[in-house]
């Protein structure tokens, strides 16, 4: 399950979240695309990392009927005794999803489905009235939507043709040619910044930040841009580093900064996917911590919001 480059006429989606209020202004529908070139150790959506469908195991639902194991010709289903540790061996799994279809209790859940642009537009169209009354619209997020850039471009173009306000939530990790081709259909960019020091960025995400920072400057000149800064204890929350992020935001001219405090809400997903959670901070971010960091950005004349 390591295919990270699938691009064709359809896109692979892992969630379409209606009535979203944290992914841009107003009431929105957020379309989450599967696949990401970054592997952030704190990622709260591990099901978004790979472009192939995943199987998530919900142990609490399992009745140990054995139907999944019987139908799996490759021996990928591992059913251990007790109420836990029903697992899929990713090395043996061919993603046929026979075990998911055979499970009577939905213990096994397929994560990721292929959809055409029109199928997605049909879904987001359902909340058109909410968009118009609230100043909202459609946000394309991930994973990293630039990994499926043709689909992302065509989806955003179709949403614009429907009259929807559009937003792109991105790490900016793609060639400028790819990003520029998409921005012409985007009203707002939610741009993620993890760390300004390249070595730290590589350690935390497994990729360099050089392309990301270069694209940020160009993006802010071409589109309304909100900076999204995940506050990660012990990784990027030092006063000195935060001041540099604030300086960067002011220099490139972002409209707003959103501080996103670290949480562990997605930690349980790793076990369900047979993955290992690798981020272990010594402490959590307090409200007082957030207020202090907020003040750093405000000193640079930037508008700041928390958790949105």
The pLDDT profile of the chain, 308 residues, written as one tens digit per residue, is 334 433 347 999 999 999 999 999 999 999 999 999 999 999 999 999 999 999 999 988 888 888 998 999 888 887 655 555 667 888 888 889 999 999 999 999 999 999 999 999 999 999 999 999 999 999 999 999 999 999 999 999 999 999 999 999 999 999 999 999 999 999 999 999 999 999 999 999 999 999 999 999 999 999 999 999 999 999 999 999 999 999 999 999 999 999 999 999 899 999 899 899 999 998 999 999 999 999 999 999 999 999 75
Residue 300's pLDDT is 96
pTM of the model: 0.92
Rg of the chain over Cα atoms, rounded to whole angstroms, equals: 20
The answer as to CATH 3.40.190.10 being correct for domain 54-111 is: no
Q: Where are the domains of the chain?
A: 11-51+113-306, 54-111
Residue 82's pLDDT is 54
CATH of region 11-51+113-306: 3.20.20.70
Residue 198's pLDDT is 98
């Amino acid at each position: 399950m390591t295919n990270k480059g699938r691009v064709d006429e359809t896109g692979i989606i892992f969630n379409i979240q209606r009535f979203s209020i944290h992914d841009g202004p107003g009431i929105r529908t957020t379309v989450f695309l599967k696949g990401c070139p970054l592997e952030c150790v704190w990622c709260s959506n591990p099901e978004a990392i790979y472009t192939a469908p995943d199987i998530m195991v919900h142990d609490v639902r399992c009745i140990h009927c054995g139907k999944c194991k019987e139908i799996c010709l490759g021996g990928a289903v591992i059913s251990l005794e007790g109420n836990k540790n029903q697992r899929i061996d990713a090395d043996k799994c061919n993603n046929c999803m026979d075990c998911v279809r055979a499970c009577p209790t939905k213990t096994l859940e397929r994560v990721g489905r292929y959809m055409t642009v029109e199928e997605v537009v049909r879904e987001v169209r359902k909340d058109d009235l909410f968009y118009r009354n609230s100043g909202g619209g459609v946000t394309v997020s991930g994973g990293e939507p630039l990994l499926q850039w043709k689909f992302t471009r065509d989806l955003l173009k179709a949403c614009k043709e429907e009259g929807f306000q559009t937003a792109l939530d991105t790490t900016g990790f793609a060639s400028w040619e790819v990003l520029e081709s998409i921005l012409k259909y985007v009203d707002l960019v939610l741009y993620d910044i993890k760390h300004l020091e390249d070595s730290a960025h590589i350690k935390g995400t497994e990729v360099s930040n050089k392309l990301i920072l270069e694209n940020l400057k160009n993006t802010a000149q071409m589109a309304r841009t909100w900076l999204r800064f995940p506050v990660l204890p012990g990784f990027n929350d030092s006063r000195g580093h935060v001041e540099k992020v604030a300086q960067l935001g002011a220099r490139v001219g972002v409209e707003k900064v959103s501080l996103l405090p670290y949480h562990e809400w997605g930690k349980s997903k790793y076990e369900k996917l047979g993955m290992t959670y690798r981020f272990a901070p010594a402490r959590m971010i307090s409200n007082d911590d957030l207020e202090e960091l907020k003040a750093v950005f405000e000193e640079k004349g930037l508008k700041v919001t928390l958790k949105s």
